Amino acid sequence: MKTFTKVALFLLLISVFIQAYLTMQHYPLKLGFSTGPSICTLNQTFDCDAVSASNYSTFLKIPISIWGGVLYLMTFGTLLLSWLQWTERPERLKRFAYACSLLSSGAALVMGAISLSLMSAYCLFCFALYGLSFAVTLLIYPTLSEPFFKNFLQDIPAYFTENKGILGTLIAIPVVSFMIHRMALSHYGASELERLVNRGVQGWVAEPQQTLSVPPLLTKGPDADKAKLVISEFADFLCGHCKTASRSLHAFVSAHPDVRFEFFVFPLDGACNPGIDRSSGRSCLLAKSTYCAEKQKQGWAFHDIIFQYQEQLLMSESVGAMKGDILKLTEHLAYSKEDLEACINSPETQEAIEYQAQQGISLKVRGTPAIFANGKALELGQMIPVLEAVYEQSSSKGK
């Protein structure tokens, strides 16, 4: 039985570490600071970022990963004290640890059912945690030397008298979860998150309706007339803020199948943007490459790769060197390099990118990323809570 307890303690520690990782991924993604996908984001089906961006990733506005991590940690502590017999009533403490494991298993059943029935993307780490919850419950049960349910009910009055520490542990779960949440928000400069969300939504409501007449470079989601929300982004591929915004926008759209995402280029480069004085040709090359890649159904792949290797591309010595780097980074994709280069050098491609830039100018885009929701400028649109609030308002009132 000692082996069962040791294994249960080990699995609880693994669970705490996984929850800690998911928590550390959650805040940068939600607040628009993420610089890359989590290690459990593999494709459109297994996308931990999309799950984190969904409404189901929080409870009482606190990430589920924090609730789970604190609960696992409390379970670990009480089970360890019971095993070491650093208490007068080790069996009672073990029963409490088992009750905590039952709670986590119940939560795992609920979250698993939500994932399988209501979501289009899945989190592999989350499913691993569900399995670990059940395993811990099964491992602790054989170590109980007294019947659980009868004795657990008799234990409850003692939590208010001789075992107030157990009651304190129960109270600590929401208190500690709230404190971790507030510290995380403060760390990322979003301690007044509700105020920021309200500012973004109120500003959006007051903005005039704009018409985006030029077709977007890339799109995701349903047609505009069938979408509950249309998000339009103007971005420069060499803009660091655009790179971080791309992660939160991708996750939000992936978590909401009824949202349409439109990507427009607004190169901060006078070689293809008449609104910009300085000219290097580098941002224009990246915009043209993605535009031409989309003609071969590889536009989103180029978009993702360019942002992923943005720092490397920034170090390219010239436009020609950058073109070579792009071809090398995308050589695993199925497209014709000859057709791509011919398209990049085409006057029609230059004209198409200039049209995109002209539309940004007409919308008074002054910097990137510039995000619009249903044709209205949206400040802080890289933050998922702001997008969520706008989505809810659009769903209730219609576009």
pLDDT at 161: 87
Q: How would you class 77 by CB atoms within 10 Å of its CB: exposed for 0-12, middle for 13-18, buried for 19 or more?
A: middle
The CA-atom distances, in angstroms, between 21 and each of 24, 39, 68, 336, 352 are: 5, 10, 12, 40, 42
Which tens digit of pLDDT belongs to each residue from 146-204? 899 999 999 889 888 888 888 899 999 999 999 999 999 999 888 889 999 999 999 99
How far is it between the farthest Cα atoms of the chain?
83
All CATH 1.20.1440.130 domain ranges in the chain, comma separated: 2-187
- 28: closest CA among 185, 175, 235, 148? 185
pLDDT at 37: 87
pLDDT given at position 363:
96
Low-confidence stretches of the chain (pLDDT beneath 70): 1, 396-399
Question: Which superfamily is assigned to 2-187 in CATH?
Answer: VKOR domain (1.20.1440.130)
pLDDT for the residue numbered 349: 98
- pLDDT of amino acid 36: 82
CA gap 293, 334 in Å, rounded: 10
Q: Residue 63: what pLDDT?
A: 97
Q: Is 59 exposed, middle or buried (0-12, 13-18, 19+ CB in 10 A)?
A: middle
Task: Spell out the CATH class of 209-397.
Answer: alpha beta
Place of tokens 């998911």: 22
Report CA 380 to chain centroid distance, whole Å.
16
Count the Cβ atoms, other than its own, within 10 Å of residue 163: 20
Contacts 24+ apart (CB under 8 A), 391-394: 391/228, 391/229, 391/256, 391/259, 393/201, 393/205, 394/228, 394/229
* CATH 3.40.30.10, the chain: domain bounds: 209-397
Contact 231, 264 (CB under 8 A): no
